[in-house]
Amino acid sequence: MIEQGTNIDILKGKSMAAIFYEPSTRTRCSFTAAMQKLGGNVIYIASEASSVKKGETIEDFVRCMECYADVIVLRSPETESARKASSVLNKPLINAGDGSGEHPTQALLDMYTIREEMGTTGGNICVTMYGDLKYGRTVHSLCKLLALRPKDIRLKFVSPSCLSMPDDIKEYLNDRGVEYTEHRSITDVIDTTDVLYVTRIQKERLSEEEKDIQIVNITPQLLHMSKKTLRIMHPLPRVSEISTEIDSDPRAAYFRQMQYGLYVRMALLSLVVNED
Amino acid sequence: MIEQGTNIDILKGKSMAAIFYEPSTRTRCSFTAAMQKLGGNVIYIASEASSVKKGETIEDFVRCMECYADVIVLRSPETESARKASSVLNKPLINAGDGSGEHPTQALLDMYTIREEMGTTGGNICVTMYGDLKYGRTVHSLCKLLALRPKDIRLKFVSPSCLSMPDDIKEYLNDRGVEYTEHRSITDVIDTTDVLYVTRIQKERLSEEEKDIQIVNITPQLLHMSKKTLRIMHPLPRVSEISTEIDSDPRAAYFRQMQYGLYVRMALLSLVVNED
Amino acid sequence: MIEQGTNIDILKGKSMAAIFYEPSTRTRCSFTAAMQKLGGNVIYIASEASSVKKGETIEDFVRCMECYADVIVLRSPETESARKASSVLNKPLINAGDGSGEHPTQALLDMYTIREEMGTTGGNICVTMYGDLKYGRTVHSLCKLLALRPKDIRLKFVSPSCLSMPDDIKEYLNDRGVEYTEHRSITDVIDTTDVLYVTRIQKERLSEEEKDIQIVNITPQLLHMSKKTLRIMHPLPRVSEISTEIDSDPRAAYFRQMQYGLYVRMALLSLVVNED
């Protein structure tokens, strides 16, 4: 593990253009810290400052930015933006989330967290995904990555019926022979879970009838039923679905998960930015 | 004095997260320049970009930021925010102003300015505070710091009656044996003043009846009555309370005061950021 | 040519304050990258964060910023702002555009582009300016710079009649003996043009009757009529006036022009920032 505060300087003199067409503080700060810790510089472009308002296409805009930068990090609310941008660029582009599309670096850091927290050996790990499995982009991407190791994992999906895992993801898992089961209550599965991945109910995305949904929060009482080796993950921000009372419990891995995100993005940047 | 433009690099590879829940250009730029001049990096988070809007607590948010940074600088309109944040952090936090609470680095730079401009020896210095003494947070904090040296200073408070120094500050001074007097007219005290600390009338904070208040501006004519060794301070921005005609007078210390602020924040950052 | 990604470090430990009272993503990013590639730091101040709202003058504000920075870059919608700011500063100021006034670094990068693309020898170069010649600030400034070499160039202005080159610019050229002609159709002059400088029709600046104006776009078909050595420039952003089909044509110089802008600003910063 890289000790924080060490500056490795392998990207000294290199620039990262961080283009955020929608705010995403955590992702932006993580990429910024990653680039800076490698000795590189960051040029930040927020949506509101963009000349796309003047009628410029995203293709033109990123081509301009690659005149100044060695790598482009792009966050956009539009699904096709990363593909469009990469089609015209000569320099590497990292997709930092494109609407309802993908958020690949989040999926990578989630995978890395499981590997770090559970050890590098495979084994038959039970990963339980809990909360909003319908709109939660991160659990969809994580399912696809976990499906690369169909023998090593079992999945359990726990959600209210109206927020259950979409059919296309379940078909994807079926096609690859990944074992999964669906449940309504977290208490039914907590004792057999190795990794508990909790997601926030995103009130802003719910329909009127869905808005009253409550899920059982993760509390010290619930953890009495869990394995001692359980690890709890969350992409953050959380609202109330995980009690702050368990933050100091070793099973709470979500702040370590944040820090792993920094390392994963450092690794990614150092891989894609070309040496001169 | 550190020569500007010299990069000392003692915080190379370190990151400062500057979290500003309200804009404060001067404070932000001063901290940013301070960190950069020490060789460190800055991650800037403006309020509008914050995920606190999604229901995240400030405690959670700063814990995420400390995954990326080695020191947190926090500015907030809420009085309790610095205390709340520091209660969960493992890394150092610097309060850059918390509403009507404190703005400790401003008070430190004000003290440092008096020390630099008046010389390091003690003596019986007369510090006159002038303008809005009721809402001006900086004069309250400065009073408390000056009270650490009750034998070395005398205070004079000059303001319209409706903007006079609050009772709790005067009690604080009484308790510590600091001598002070109150006045209505700056011309009564200008000739005996060593340090004149002027504050802006913050129109946006005044009630309807207070809004018509005018104070006598500091002009070259007024300075004819002052000591040649007078020093004029102001936390800036000013509106019209100090005439620009005296900017080039050696007695005008307010721009030097800004520069001292950079040095004080450099010193503070280098003290609190831990060596690896 | 400086290889991108090389960090020259001649401004290590120096700070640039980039004050943008109006957004200008391209100019800001170009200056930011330039300073960073020279090893220096950037302090960015956006308009909305400015304390000028509290009644502070621009003179006071830039004097504060020079307490932290070694060079000030100022963009403002007000014509006199650069002059006002420089009148009080002790450190160098670079005008990054002041409303309908000047945008000198754009003019310098345009000149540098012509020099790089056409070779360093003089000769009788035909520069055709096309599009909105009335409101397009860049073509006005470029005319003035080109007038420094009256024997080396011929100018052709092509625009709708209501967007033709202003009289004061034409008088300026007349006074200096620069040859120019005016035209309505790009097809009349494309075959004799060496440098084609295209500008965007800025819909937001047009009157009601002007809004319906259409100009012939630059397409592969039109380029069949041009010299093989033609170079096409554009300050960007473009809307539809240049077809993306010609982006990969060697005659399309506009993205190279962006990159030259980085080099010009690096040169400028290294010239004006004082050595210690």
What would the DSSP string read from start to end of B216-242? --B-HHHHTTS-TT-EEE--S--SSSB
By C-alpha distance, which of B233, B241, B227, B224 is closest to B260? B233
Residue B50's pLDDT band (cuts 50, 70, 90): low
Please check whether residues A118 and A89 belong to one and the same domain.
Answer: no
Is residue A270 assigned to a domain?
no
Q: Is the pLDDT of residue A129 over 60?
A: yes
pLDDT computed for residue A125 by the predictor: 93
pLDDT computed for residue B6 by the predictor: 54
Phi, psi of B183 (to 5 degrees): -140, 165
pLDDT tens digits, residue range B172-202? 999 999 999 999 999 999 999 999 999 998 7
Q: How far apart are CA A93 and CA A18, in angstroms?
A: 10
Determine, for residues A36 and B49 on separate chains, whether the beta-carbon distance falls below 8 Å: no
Q: Which chains touch A (3 or more CB pairs under 8 A)?
A: B, C
Report which DSSP code applies to A241.
S
By C-alpha distance, which of B74, B71, B82, B81 is closest to B38? B71
By C-alpha distance, which of B226, A234, A45 is closest to C46? A45
- Average pLDDT of the residues in B34-57: 81
Q: Answer for the pair C176, C147: CB distance below 8 angstroms, yes or no.
A: yes
Please check whether residues A13 and A109 belong to one and the same domain.
Answer: no
Which residues of chain B make contact with C12, given a CB cutoff of 8 A? 7
Determine, for residues C15 and B3 on separate chains, whether the beta-carbon distance falls below 8 Å: no
Determine, for residues A49 and C37 on separate chains, whether the beta-carbon distance falls below 8 Å: no
Determine, for residues A28 and B50 on separate chains, whether the beta-carbon distance falls below 8 Å: no
Residue A54's pLDDT band (cuts 50, 70, 90): low
Is residue C263 assigned to a domain?
no
User: Three-class SS of residue A248?
Assistant: coil
- For chain A, what is the total number of helices (H) and then of strands (E)? 8, 9
Min Cα–Cα distance to chain B from A31, Å: 9
Residue C100's pLDDT band (cuts 50, 70, 90): confident
**Which residues are bridge partners to C74 per DSSP?**
C19, C95
Min Cα–Cα distance to chain A from C176, Å: 35
- Who has greater pLDDT, B121 or A197? A197
Residue A1's pLDDT band (cuts 50, 70, 90): very low
**Residue tagged 């473009």 (tokens):** C238
Q: How far apart are CA B102 and CA B80, in angstroms?
A: 10
Q: Is the pLDDT of residue C161 over 50?
A: yes
Please check whether residues C254 and C121 belong to one and the same domain.
Answer: yes
Q: Which of B53-62, B135-144, B159-168 has the lowest mean pLDDT?
A: B53-62
Residue of A nearest to C9 (CA): A13
Residues 6 or more apart from A151 whose CB is under 8 A from it?
A122
Please check whether residues B112 and B243 belong to one and the same domain.
Answer: yes
Most B CBs within 10 Å: which of C44, C57, C60, as the mutation test of the B interface?
Answer: C60
pLDDT computed for residue A174 by the predictor: 97
Please check whether residues B17 and B132 belong to one and the same domain.
Answer: no
- Who has greater pLDDT, A4 or A259? A259
Q: How far apart are CA A225 and CA A21, in angstroms?
A: 43
Q: Which amino acid is at C109?
A: L
Phi, psi of B25 (to 5 degrees): -55, -50
Q: Which of A37-41, B136-140, B211-215, C264-268 has the lowest mean pLDDT?
A: B211-215
Residues 23-42 of A with CB under 8 A from C: 41
Please check whether residues A55 and A166 belong to one and the same domain.
Answer: no
Percent of chain B with pLDDT over 90: 75
Residue of B nearest to C57 (CA): B239
Q: Answer for the pair C132, C163: CB distance below 8 angstroms, yes or no.
A: yes
Residue of B nearest to C40 (CA): B36
Determine, for residues A54 and C237 on separate chains, whether the beta-carbon distance falls below 8 Å: yes
**Residue tagged 């057999």 (tokens):** A192
The answer for C72, left when phi > 0, alpha when psi is -120 to 50, beta otherwise, is: beta
pLDDT computed for residue A120 by the predictor: 59
Q: Is the pLDDT of residue B228 over 90?
A: yes
pLDDT computed for residue A9 by the predictor: 87
Q: How far apart are CA B139 and CA B132, in angstroms?
A: 9
Residue B53's pLDDT band (cuts 50, 70, 90): low
Please check whether residues B209 and B163 belong to one and the same domain.
Answer: yes
By C-alpha distance, which of A73, A130, A119, A79 is closest to A102? A79
Model pTM?
A: 0.93
Residue of A nearest to B276 (CA): A5
Ranges of H-type helices in B66-166: 81-88, 104-118, 137-146
Cα–Cα distances in angstroms (integers) from residue A223 to residues A193, A198, C174, in the given order: 11, 14, 85
pLDDT tens digits, residue range A97-119? 988 788 999 999 999 999 999 98
Rg (CA), chain B: 20
Please check whether residues A168 and A51 belong to one and the same domain.
Answer: no
Q: In the sheet where A195-198 sits, what is the strand order? A: A179-183, A153-158, A125-130, A195-198, A231-233
C10 class by beta-carbon count within 10 Å (0-12 exposed, 13-18 middle, 19+ buried): middle
Question: In this complex, is the C-beta atom of C104 within 8 Å of any C-beta atom belonging to chain A?
Answer: no
Is residue A266 assigned to a domain?
no
pLDDT computed for residue B3 by the predictor: 52
Most A CBs within 10 Å: which of C2, C4, C201, as the mutation test of the A interface?
Answer: C4
Q: How far apart are CA B153 and CA B146, in angstroms?
A: 7
Determine, for residues A276 and C239 on separate chains, whether the beta-carbon distance falls below 8 Å: no
Is residue C272 assigned to a domain?
no
Min Cα–Cα distance to chain B from C25, Å: 18
Min Cα–Cα distance to chain C from A142, Å: 34
- Chain centroid to Cα A168, Å, comes to 19
Determine, for residues A51 and C26 on separate chains, whether the beta-carbon distance falls below 8 Å: yes
Which residues of chain A make contact with B85, given a CB cutoff of 8 A? none
Catalytic residue of the set B54, B120, B121, B224? B54
ipTM: 0.90
- Average pLDDT of the residues in C28-41: 96
The beta-carbon neighbor of B237 closest among C48, C56, C65 is: C56
Determine, for residues A17 and C4 on separate chains, whether the beta-carbon distance falls below 8 Å: no
Residue of A nearest to B48 (CA): A23
pLDDT computed for residue A6 by the predictor: 54
Question: In this complex, is the C-beta atom of C77 within 8 Å of any C-beta atom belonging to chain A?
Answer: no
Min Cα–Cα distance to chain A from B274, Å: 9
Q: Which of A30-34, A207-211, C69-73 has the lowest mean pLDDT?
A: A207-211
Asked about B27 being catalytic, the answer comes back as: yes
pLDDT computed for residue B276 by the predictor: 57
pLDDT computed for residue C213 by the predictor: 81
Residue C53's pLDDT band (cuts 50, 70, 90): low
pLDDT computed for residue B194 by the predictor: 96
Most C CBs within 10 Å: which of A7, A10, A38, A54, as the mutation test of the C interface?
Answer: A54
**Which residues are bridge partners to C183 per DSSP?**
C158
C26 class by beta-carbon count within 10 Å (0-12 exposed, 13-18 middle, 19+ buried): buried
Please check whether residues A43 and A110 belong to one and the same domain.
Answer: no
Min Cα–Cα distance to chain B from A172, Å: 31
Min Cα–Cα distance to chain A from B41, Å: 7
Which residues of chain A make contact with B64, given a CB cutoff of 8 A? 26, 29, 236-237, 255, 258
Cα–Cα distances in angstroms (integers) from residue A167 to residues A99, B226, C100, C204, in the given order: 19, 82, 58, 47
Q: What total number of domains does chain C contain?
A: 2
The answer for B152, left when phi > 0, alpha when psi is -120 to 50, beta otherwise, is: alpha
The average confidence (pLDDT) of chain B is: 90
- State which of A51, A82, A99 marks the end of a domain: A99
Asked about B229 being catalytic, the answer comes back as: no
pLDDT computed for residue B102 by the predictor: 84
Q: How far apart are CA A14 and CA B163, in angstroms?
A: 53
By C-alpha distance, which of B184, B178, B208, B196 is closest to B249? B196
Q: How far apart are CA B224 and CA B131, in angstroms?
A: 20
Q: How far apart are CA A56 and CA C221, in angstroms?
A: 23
Convert C97-107 to b/e letters by CB count within 10 Å (16 or more is b): bbbebbbbbbb
Q: Which chains touch C (3 or more CB pairs under 8 A)?
A: A, B
Is residue A4 assigned to a domain?
no
Determine, for residues A262 and B67 on separate chains, whether the beta-carbon distance falls below 8 Å: yes
Q: Is the pLDDT of residue A209 over 80?
A: no
Is residue B276 assigned to a domain?
no
Q: How far apart are CA B30 and CA B38, in angstroms?
A: 12
By C-alpha distance, which of B177, B173, B87, B97 is closest to B138? B97
Q: Is the pLDDT of residue B2 over 60?
A: no
**Strands A15-20 and A71-76: what pairing?**
parallel
- Average pLDDT of the residues in C239-257: 96
Taking the alpha carbons at both ends of chain A, their separation in whole angstroms is 27
- State which of A99, A131, A152 marks the end of a domain: A99
Q: Answer for the pair B110, B143: CB distance below 8 angstroms, yes or no.
A: no
Q: Is the pLDDT of residue C152 over 90?
A: no
What would the DSSP string read from start to end of C214-255? ----B-HHHHTTS-TT-EEE--S--SSSB-GGGTTSTTB-HH
Is residue B210 assigned to a domain?
yes
- State which of A48, A80, A99 marks the end of a domain: A99
Q: Answer for the pair A213, A201: CB distance below 8 angstroms, yes or no.
A: yes
Question: In this complex, is the C-beta atom of A90 within 8 Å of any C-beta atom belonging to chain C?
Answer: no
Q: Answer for the pair B46, B20: CB distance below 8 angstroms, yes or no.
A: yes
- Average pLDDT of the residues in A51-75: 88
pLDDT computed for residue B1 by the predictor: 45
- Average pLDDT of the residues in C153-164: 94
Question: In this complex, is the C-beta atom of C68 within 8 Å of any C-beta atom belonging to chain B?
Answer: yes
Q: How far apart are CA C242 and CA A188, in angstroms?
A: 63
By C-alpha distance, which of C31, C209, C12 is closest to C105? C31
Cα–Cα distances in angstroms (integers) from residue A173 to residues A125, A143, A166, B170, in the given order: 16, 8, 11, 72
Please check whether residues A113 and A95 belong to one and the same domain.
Answer: no
- Average pLDDT of the residues in C37-43: 96
Asked about B184 being catalytic, the answer comes back as: no
Determine, for residues C5 and A70 on separate chains, whether the beta-carbon distance falls below 8 Å: yes
Q: In the sheet where B15-20 sits, what is the strand order? A: B41-46, B15-20, B71-76, B93-98
The beta-carbon neighbor of B67 closest among A28, A244, A255 is: A255
pLDDT computed for residue B48 by the predictor: 57
Phi, psi of B29 (to 5 degrees): -65, -35
Which residues of chain B make contact with C49, given a CB cutoff of 8 A? 23, 25, 28, 46
Please check whether residues A202 and A252 belong to one and the same domain.
Answer: yes
**CATH number for the domain including A187?**
3.40.50.1370
pLDDT computed for residue A122 by the predictor: 62
Which residues of chain B make contact with A261, given a CB cutoff of 8 A? 67
What would the DSSP string read from start to end of A78-116? STTHHHHHHHH-SS-EEEEEETTS--HHHHHHHHHHHHH
Cα–Cα distances in angstroms (integers) from residue B101 to residues A188, B135, B140, C72, C100, in the given order: 48, 11, 10, 33, 44
- Average pLDDT of the residues in B267-271: 97
| Beta-carbon pairs below 8 A across chains A and B | 72
Q: In the sheet where C93-98 sits, what is the strand order? A: C41-46, C15-20, C71-76, C93-98
For A56, the domain range is: 9-99
Please check whether residues B49 and B77 belong to one and the same domain.
Answer: yes
Is residue A265 assigned to a domain?
no
Sign of the Cα pseudo-torsion (C191, C196, C202, C208, in order): negative
Determine, for residues B25 and C60 on separate chains, whether the beta-carbon distance falls below 8 Å: no
Residues 144-203 of A with CB under 8 A from B: 200
Active site residues of A: 26-27, 54, 75, 103
Q: Is the pLDDT of residue C120 over 80?
A: no
**Which residues are bridge partners to B20 per DSSP?**
B46, B75
The beta-carbon neighbor of A43 closest among C29, C239, C259 is: C29
Q: Is the pLDDT of residue C1 over 60?
A: no
Min Cα–Cα distance to chain B from A125, Å: 27
Catalytic residue of the set B14, B28, B75, B231? B75
The beta-carbon neighbor of B29 closest among C56, C60, C65 is: C65
- Who has greater pLDDT, B177 or C205? B177
Q: Answer for the pair C159, C210: CB distance below 8 angstroms, yes or no.
A: no
- Who has greater pLDDT, C161 or A202? C161
pLDDT tens digits, residue range C231-246? 999 999 998 899 999 9
Q: Is the pLDDT of residue C98 over 50?
A: yes
Q: How far apart are CA B34 and CA B267, in angstroms?
A: 9
Min Cα–Cα distance to chain B from A18, Å: 13
Q: Answer for the pair B128, B199: CB distance below 8 angstroms, yes or no.
A: no
Q: Answer for the pair B156, B126: CB distance below 8 angstroms, yes or no.
A: yes
Residue of B nearest to C17 (CA): B29
Q: How far apart are CA B223 and CA B243, in angstroms?
A: 11
**Which residues are bridge partners to C45 per DSSP?**
C19
Catalytic residue of the set C14, C27, C140, C199? C27
By C-alpha distance, which of C91, C82, C98, C28 is closest to C63? C91
